[in-house]
Amino acid sequence: MVRKFIKKTTAVLLCAAVAAGLMGCGSVTSGKRIIRVSHAQSETHPEHIGLLAFKEYVEERLGDRYEVQIFPNEILGSAQKAIELTQTGAIDFVVAGTANLETFAGVYEIFSMPYLFDSEDVYKSVMQDTDYMEQVYESTDEAGFRVVTWYNAGTRNFYAKTPIRTPEDLKGKKIRVQQSPASVAMVNAFGAAAAPMGFGEVYTAIQQGVIDGAENNELALTNNKHGEVAKYYAYNKHQMVPDMLVANLKFLQGLDPEEYQVFKDAALLSTQVEMEEWDKSIEAAKQIASEDMGVEFIDVDVDAFKQKVLPLHEKMLKENPKIADLYLYIQEVNEKAKGGQ
């Protein structure tokens, strides 16, 4: 309770400070332009560690002009709020899952499509194809922001207060999803009842029985402590949804070419660091969740889950032509990977 109050109060004060100091155009302290970066994770999360590398890289090269400040734990607001702040330029960067970008650019809906990538390798090779992804990244220009790089957010699986061993176990369960229509459709297609809400509300919602469970990567169990309230985690592997480092477009466009390159290189470096940290953290999270929190990890028949929702591919393609190109491209990479095996 007290912690929540402090967090809320800090958020309000910080937002007021950000708003007052910036008026939507960036702040300058002791001659340096302050760059504000917001994200939803804790300070031990791979994304925070990646962002520290971003900060160091920028400040080593442009430290006389820029200071990078990182705000973790949704201190500046949930992803949706922080995106709005990035749109207006009140902050400069935010890390947000693609689900939060769907309403700005329809192409991002594709990542909500279940069983889109055949493997983690396919997922990573598509996301690391910077030439291809650049056109996707530019798709939010009209909204005033642009993605500069991606972060691995692992594979999403269902977890709940009671075991999920077959798709039937999802029937009637109230499962939290991210606030995007495509994620709602995805969870409903599994036969569960989707409950969209912000990430920060999930712990209490499970604890109080407002929902039965959620779906996320393993770090949600430990970094966000969901393993304290949901003890069954099923490896049904329905999605690989990346997080994106999003920048205010005017800020990017206001940089001179040399500065722009430094920020771009810093972003790429942050992805490398984040990806390395990711693999280590997942191993550690599984151990902590099972040994210290008593979470049971359940291996399920993935194909049984997959069959349930595959018709969504056709439906989503029909309803949203903006995902067609990327879908075809991903299928090509899926096929190539099969051929290579």
Q: Which residues bind ligand GCU (CB under 6 A)?
A: 40, 79, 97, 153, 178, 199, 216, 220, 243
Question: What span, in angstroms and rounded, lies between the C-alpha atoms of 77 and 74?
Answer: 5
- Min dist CB 198 to ligand GCU, Å, is 7
> 27 vs 216, which CB is nearer to ligand GCU?
216
Contact between 132 and 329 (Cβ < 8 Å): yes
Q: What angle do CA 3, 23, 98 make, to 5 degrees?
A: 60
> 203 vs 329, which CB is nearer to ligand GCU?
203
- Min dist CB 116 to ligand GCU, Å, is 16
> 201 vs 325, which CB is nearer to ligand GCU?
201
Q: Is 137 left (phi over 0), alpha (psi -120 to 50) or beta?
A: alpha
Contact between 106 and 74 (Cβ < 8 Å): no
Residue in the block written with tokens 């550690």? 284
- Min dist CB 79 to ligand GCU, Å, is 5
> 178 vs 248, which CB is nearer to ligand GCU?
178
> 153 vs 316, which CB is nearer to ligand GCU?
153
- Min dist CB 183 to ligand GCU, Å, is 9
Contact between 229 and 206 (Cβ < 8 Å): yes
> 66 vs 151, which CB is nearer to ligand GCU?
151
- Min dist CB 166 to ligand GCU, Å, is 24
Contact between 84 and 140 (Cβ < 8 Å): no
Q: What is the DSSP string of 273-325?
A: HHHHHHHHHHHHHHHIIIIIS-PEEEE--HHHHHHHHTHHHHHHHHH-GGGHH
Helices 181-189 and 302-309, axial angle in degrees (round to 10): 120
- Min dist CB 26 to ligand GCU, Å, is 25
Range list of H helices, the chain:
2-22, 46-62, 79-88, 120-127, 130-137, 181-189, 202-207, 219-222, 249-254, 257-287, 302-309, 311-319, 324-339
> 45 vs 146, which CB is nearer to ligand GCU?
45
Question: What span, in angstroms and rounded, lies between the C-alpha atoms of 100 and 143?
Answer: 13
- Min dist CB 216 to ligand GCU, Å, is 5
- Min dist CB 155 to ligand GCU, Å, is 11
> 66 vs 115, which CB is nearer to ligand GCU?
115
